[in-house]
Amino acid sequence: MSNLETTPEEELLASGNSCEGVELLEPRDVPLGGPRAMNVRRTLPQRKRSLVGAWCFLDHYGPDRVTDSNSMYVPQHPHTGLQTASWLFTGEIEHKDSAGFQAIVRPGELNLMTAGHGITHSEFSTPDTEILHGAQLWIALPDSARQMPPTFQHYAPEAIVSNGAEVRVFLGTLGVNEHTSTSPVTTHTPLLGAEILLAPRASVELTLDPTFEHGFLLDAGAVLLDGHTLPKDFLGYLPTGHNKAVLTAKNEPVRVLLIGGTPFEEQIVMWWNFVGRTHEEIVQYRKDYMAEMGLEERSEADTVGDSAEYDDAGLRFGVFPPNEPAPLPAPALPNLRIRPRINPSN
């Protein structure tokens, strides 16, 4: 998904309150598009906490009836230096990208796109979709992988069913009561991603890696996280040092999205759909994108980046499938230097 804000902020709202070891990250509403925009609830990034592990962006949307909004209509747009993880609860989305991959994003199935040095893709809800509901997440790539060629992975995890819990682990490894599940999907830093469903009044004990920090997003129902109420649509953050967590549903079914990973030690500069390391890199990414899309001309004074950041044809963002809607133009850069995002220490 693209960040469709016309003036993307380099610092976002502060987080909410904390309660005895669980930091509560409050979402902010962001309209994607025009008057009939699809609204999303964004819990990452925030001024107080920019990342959870290498997870650097989390938009949570729906359930939206597509006839009441623009649904998912995101034409060709760019990414650099990150992976996008699409996870749906309801509906379907068609994905196309400039690396030659096409896929249908379906509920309970992971689609992981690695942008590397640069990619463009589009996302449109399918004609048969009536209700759209899910999450779009971005993962910052470490310096060792952020200039790699773009690629794409798909994975449909089998559910662990145990004592009223149904858990799908789409990234990393997670212990669920007496069971363990591991995803085969390649990541470039240690990560965890899972969907957790609980029947009313069911409880599940999760075995956590204590070197990870974790975030628990409550999508539906009412739940206790280690005995503390997690508000709906909030992200409950647990720092490193926890080797287990207990989720307990109240009197209705619950859906929680769990993310985690080792703290990401590299500073990142993140603006619009680009992740880099310096202000100058972001300027270069925007310049390359606008020129390659034919939206701006390069001047004689314009330079290009290191040759390793481009494909064999000299393009950062590759060639998109023909006969598609016009690409999204990049917003204007802010009149200030874009500053690195730094997480507080645990």
Q: What local confidence, expressed as pLDDT, does residue 300 receive?
A: 65
Dump pLDDT digits (tens) for 35-51: 556 789 999 998 889 99
Dump pLDDT digits (tens) for 294-309: 998 877 667 777 788 9
Query: For residue 343, is pLDDT > 70?
Result: no
The stretch 214-230 carries a mean pLDDT of 97
List the one residue out of 57, 229, 210 whose CA is nearest residue 136.
Answer: 57
Is the separation of the CB atoms in 240 and 211 below 8 Å? yes
Query: For residue 105, is pLDDT > 90?
Result: yes
Is the separation of the CB atoms in 288 and 316 below 8 Å? yes
Q: What local confidence, expressed as pLDDT, does residue 157 receive?
A: 98
CATH T-level topology, domain 24-261: Jelly Rolls (2.60.120)
Query: For residue 52, is pLDDT > 50?
Result: yes
Query: For residue 3, is pLDDT > 80?
Result: no
Dump pLDDT digits (tens) for 159-189: 999 999 999 999 999 999 999 999 999 999 9
In whole angstroms, give the CA distance from residue 325 to residue 346: 45
In whole angstroms, give the CA distance from residue 6 to residue 1: 15
Round the CA-based radius of gyration of the chain to a whole number and report it: 20
Q: What local confidence, expressed as pLDDT, does residue 36 receive?
A: 57
Q: What local confidence, expressed as pLDDT, does residue 10 receive?
A: 44
The three state secondary structure string of the chain is CCCCCCCCCCCCCCCCCEECCEEEECCEEEEECCCCCEEEEEEECCCCCCCECCEEEEEEEEEEEHHHCCCCEEEEEEEECEEEEEEEEECCEEEEECCCCEEEECECCEEEEECCCCEEEEEEECCCCCEEEEEEEEEECCCCCCCCCCEEEEECCCCEEECCEEEEEEECEEEECCEEEECCCCCCCCEEEEEEEECCCCEEEEECCCCCEEEEEEEECCEEECCEEECCCCEEEECCCCCEEEEEECCCCEEEEEEEECCCCCCEEEECCEEECCHHHHHHHHHHHHHHCCCCCCCCCCCCCCHHHCCCCCCCCCCCCCCCCCCCCCCCCCCCCCCCECCCCC
The stretch 194-220 carries a mean pLDDT of 98
In whole angstroms, give the CA distance from residue 279 to residue 146: 16
Range scoring the smallest mean pLDDT among 14-28, 93-107, 273-287: 14-28
What are the domain boundaries of the chain?
24-261
The stretch 196-220 carries a mean pLDDT of 98
Query: For residue 69, is pLDDT > 70?
Result: no
| Residue 45: cis peptide before it, omega within 30 degrees of 0 | yes
Q: What is the end-to-end Cα distance of the chain in Å, rounded?
A: 30
Q: What local confidence, expressed as pLDDT, does residue 14 receive?
A: 30
- Token pair 């994108």 is at which residue? 289
Q: What local confidence, expressed as pLDDT, does residue 15 receive?
A: 33
Which of 6-9's residues contact partners 24+ apart within 8 Å by CB, and which partners? 6/331, 7/331, 7/332, 7/334, 8/271, 8/272, 8/331
Q: What local confidence, expressed as pLDDT, does residue 129 receive?
A: 94
Q: What local confidence, expressed as pLDDT, does residue 7 receive?
A: 56
> For the whole model, what pTM was predicted?
0.92
Q: What local confidence, expressed as pLDDT, does residue 303 receive?
A: 72
In whole angstroms, give the CA distance from residue 324 to residue 344: 42
